[in-house]
Structure 1
């Protein structure tokens, strides 16, 4: 596409939503540039071995069966940070991942690809807590203003109550016994538990052979044989292309490449709408500007093809940064744009922790007489949650064995569990690394083990965030240096939530409770290009006209602790409307 109206940098969770809105609602021509590969597109049949095509504009290029081949659903194939198909790095797997300098015990878990990190998310789509927007000084807009965009996003992404399986029944039993009430609204203002709202189509209740999906179902899970919706296989962190044989747009979990990309490309097929073109393997290296009326004005971007190394320039009437909380500020800073002290700063990450419960078969049978085991791999990875506005929340988690062993017992800042004393007043039995024979014993109880993920309402602080490393550069400029450390207030909130999680486990009948005490895991990242500081109420840069931020980095804080995808996409949809109103 030559001379688009808008160029969007990044096709992760939020960029495709903005592109679809700009084209379908406002008739604009939009070019989306993505640094990573594109899975499930016939122009790139071997996305990690061959350069393939250049750009795709046609929804008929999308190929669900090709996606099935490319996403093997094996843990290491998907998630190994050096060579997995879900990594941060060039599509060419003969080359190393892209380097981020992180001088601490922490881990950044992101994906560069069409769909971005949403390719391995659980599909959890809660809304922000209203208080986190309306009752804090960070936000220049109201919660009420976001609600219509939440509703639009929830419709497009098939967001609905997750199905309940045995692991959720155990959590609900514990939450009720601990004295917590059911929350029956999406706009949460009180403490309690509720089923997750997930962007995953519910299982097809009736299939071609007339059998419903229940524990006795023995039919095919293939789309070609009539199966629709989620297969409850719990493979979302590996990419999740189920049901097999389904077209891309009919895959059950509506990650951005499934929910928003097909909708964006549909605009090009409709002569009454604008055009959307999406180009993967294209790393943007510079934002071009000219002197405008009282401020700099964005005119386009420079890019580099990650396969050939060729460079080029795209001119556009507006530029949208949607490269994520690390790469959006990195690009801004590498472009030499003005920095008033908040560019890249104020990063939040929901200061995670992980609290594990191990249960007996007898306890599970008392809660659900039909369940022989809890089987954490059955069902959606996270289908029920706990909310405490002002502190954060937690969600029930079940995953496949390799991820469980890592998350439950091998990711910690506390030291070895056999050498870590536990305060007898704390509600957990052990804390820290579990290794050797003890790890084997714990993993032998895998089918009776589940975890609760703590989601802390950590607030923006200027010393947390992204800057440029003055020591290392790669082919795209100075690499990002990332720093995130918890404040004592964040620690206190996390400890409070961990104690609640342990008590819920106990109230459900857990025989053993283990607190992992995770170091920082930078997965739920928000607010490194905050509205109210770097951006105005339109998400336009205060110091650069026609430059907008349309990803999670524009969120003004961590939205109170709920998973951020729904909020990031809702804000991107609103930003698309503001771009059109201001300049088109």
Structure 2
């Protein structure tokens, strides 16, 4: 049962909230975590999308790997639908957010948040993005002990190399780039992806001749089976906390529950932050009001400290819909790592000479296992996908229209834009000989970009978030330069055809809407509300240079927990 009072209430059990909850609970505080979405793999909710189930979970014995196996299939379309941002009961429809143009917002609701739908990539921020861009009120050195703590909890290690990574590394080396060895990247170069995915069982090595069914306990760790993006139940048969991908529900939620001081209540959408104000003082957070997404019942809970960790869209939305002070930077400064996709296609004979086989087979191995870092510009990553996702990302949408509308005579790619008809069929028929490179740019925060709410456009939880994003000239230039480098790497790796998507803005990584130094102080406490902290990616003052943000968001959330202990307890 959920008690009426706690030391701390954390709003959101996504990538970052469970980190703060775990750290605070280890110090002996009572913590309630309220999550709008479902709790998969928990015996309190054996059918989370069909029945309301229990009220809350406060014990790690509720966690079930068997249930997670049942609920997290590897059927692509089913999992994408299951993990879209919405209530547990999908018959009620998804929660609508407005995003401009043809772009999309890639976020999930549920315990684990968007780490339920990520590839496990856990690089650190580029030091220059923290120390040299002028956005951060703390130094990169302040994050280092927390990086080490998070990386140990998530078992971060260099990703294993399969054919697609070998091909990418060959191209990067031939293009003149260096292999990087340091986790704190200060120079451009390529390296295996530091992933929060357990290393594969040694018996799966290519020379070991394994011929089993890849299930636990015969196989431990990563099985190298595609499916890390959506859910990922591998290895099948493993206990909940032994699953290979160390998403926050697998790494931090069990650790938090094992303290005996954490209660997690899913299906609880927070709609208001409660405050009290003494004469002449700024308001103090005293608790929250939330709505049960099954029954519609509204409840309240009191706490000494409130931590907002609902994500870079819902956290500012909650602030804007609550009776909290005006701050011109709430919701502003959004960064999304303005991205693109560049794809290479190889001839069979060329691949056979390079790899000893005539296919790339991007579906083998971890989804993202190789990267190219360029501090000041952003990064490139190889992406292994199933054909459906690959077609959507690589060919299905473009800001420059169809390929026949674009002149690429002087471009480093052969085609650019959206593909359709016979050309799309031809390239997709060669899916096994393709390699996709994701361009992730270091877009900088601009006040015009962000989250607002419109009173006339509301759902059951209040005015919905309206997300605006328009890349700057500098953002466009950095993305174009990275796309050119990607094309060069693919050419040097032997690709016979290179295609650029020129993708529309897609909120792949969402941050910077409750920025430290603008909305929050150096401890991530709100300037305008005492005992109200933020512990999610919205607190990041910029896009951490273009590196995947999960590691930095979690490191900052761990640091925020220590700051809460020092200031309030």
TM bucket (normalised to shorter chain) is over 0.9
Match for residue 230 of structure 2?
238
- 2:285 and 2:251 mapped to 1: Cα distance? 30
Q: Does 2:303 correspond to 1:316?
A: yes
Q: Does 2:398 correspond to 1:412?
A: yes
Match for residue 201 of structure 2?
204
- 1:321 and 1:213 mapped to 2: Cα distance? 46
What RMSD over aligned residues (CA atoms) do the two structures have, in Å?
1.1
2:14 pairs with one of 4, 12, 15: 12
Q: Does 2:500 correspond to 1:510?
A: no
Instruction: Provide the secondary structure at the position in 1 that maps to 2:91.
Output: coil
- 2:348 and 2:206 mapped to 1: Cα distance? 24
- 1:259 and 1:362 mapped to 2: Cα distance? 44
Is the contact made by 1:170 and 1:364 (CA closer than 8 Å) also made in structure 2? no
Question: 1:359 Cα shift?
Answer: 1.1
Instruction: Provide the secondary structure at the position in 2 that maps to 1:232.
Output: coil
Match for residue 71 of structure 2?
70
Instruction: Provide the secondary structure at the position in 1 that maps to 2:281.
Output: coil
- 1:133 and 1:88 mapped to 2: Cα distance? 30
Q: Does 2:314 correspond to 1:327?
A: yes
Where in structure 2 are the equivalents of 1:9-408 lying within 5 Å? Answer: 9-24=11-26, 26-79=27-80, 84-206=81-203, 212=205, 214=207, 216-224=209-217, 226-268=218-260, 275-292=261-278, 294-369=281-356, 371-408=357-394
- 1:104 and 1:469 mapped to 2: Cα distance? 18
Task: Count residues with an aligned counterpart.
Answer: 566
Match for residue 531 of structure 2?
546
- 2:338 and 2:536 mapped to 1: Cα distance? 20
Gaps of 5+ in 2: none
Instruction: Provide the secondary structure at the position in 2 that maps to 1:421.
Output: coil
Go from structure 1 to structure 2 and tell me whether the alpha carbon gap of 1:352 and 1:212 turns closer, same or farther (over 3 Å shift).
closer
Instruction: Provide the secondary structure at the position in 1 that maps to 2:371.
Output: strand
Question: 1:493 Cα shift?
Answer: 0.4
- 1:361 and 1:69 mapped to 2: Cα distance? 39
- 1:462 and 1:531 mapped to 2: Cα distance? 14
Cα deviation code 1:215-261 (max 9, x no counterpart): 7321221114x210001112012210100011111000001111111
Cα deviation code 1:276-321 (max 9, x no counterpart): 0000000000000011472110000000000001111000000000
Is the contact made by 1:171 and 1:504 (CA closer than 8 Å) also made in structure 2? yes
Is the contact made by 1:74 and 1:238 (CA closer than 8 Å) also made in structure 2? no
1:557 pairs with one of 530, 535, 542: 542
Match for residue 271 of structure 1?
none
Q: Which moved more, 1:331-340 or 1:444-453?
A: 331-340
Q: TM-score, normalised by structure 2?
A: 0.98
Go from structure 1 to structure 2 and tell me whether the alpha carbon gap of 1:218 and 1:577 turns closer, same or farther (over 3 Å shift).
same
Cα deviation code 1:368-408 (max 9, x no counterpart): 22x34210000000111001111111111111111011111
- 1:336 and 1:366 mapped to 2: Cα distance? 66
Q: Which moved more, 1:1-10 or 1:492-501?
A: 1-10
Question: 1:214 Cα shift?
Answer: 4.9
Where in structure 2 are the equivalents of 1:523-538 lying within 5 Å? Answer: 523-538=508-523
Is the contact made by 1:48 and 1:93 (CA closer than 8 Å) also made in structure 2? yes
2:477 pairs with one of 492, 506, 526: 492
Question: 1:103 Cα shift?
Answer: 3.5
Q: TM-score, normalised by structure 1?
A: 0.96
Match for residue 562 of structure 2?
577
Instruction: Provide the secondary structure at the position in 2 that maps to 1:314.
Output: strand
Is the contact made by 2:102 and 2:397 (CA closer than 8 Å) also made in structure 1? no
- 1:155 and 1:214 mapped to 2: Cα distance? 29
Question: 1:413 Cα shift?
Answer: 1.2
- 2:158 and 2:219 mapped to 1: Cα distance? 19
Go from structure 1 to structure 2 and tell me whether the alpha carbon gap of 1:212 and 1:174 turns closer, same or farther (over 3 Å shift).
closer
Is the contact made by 2:398 and 2:418 (CA closer than 8 Å) also made in structure 1? yes
Instruction: Provide the secondary structure at the position in 2 that maps to 1:491.
Output: helix
- 1:49 and 1:169 mapped to 2: Cα distance? 44
- 2:225 and 2:351 mapped to 1: Cα distance? 20
- 1:428 and 1:383 mapped to 2: Cα distance? 24
Question: 1:188 Cα shift?
Answer: 0.3
Cα deviation code 1:41-75 (max 9, x no counterpart): 01111111110111001101100111111111111
- 2:45 and 2:206 mapped to 1: Cα distance? 34
- 1:160 and 1:538 mapped to 2: Cα distance? 29
Question: 1:213 Cα shift?
Answer: 5.9
2:426 pairs with one of 434, 437, 441: 441
Question: 1:366 Cα shift?
Answer: 2.4
Is the contact made by 2:100 and 2:469 (CA closer than 8 Å) also made in structure 1? no
- 1:51 and 1:159 mapped to 2: Cα distance? 35
Match for residue 429 of structure 1?
414
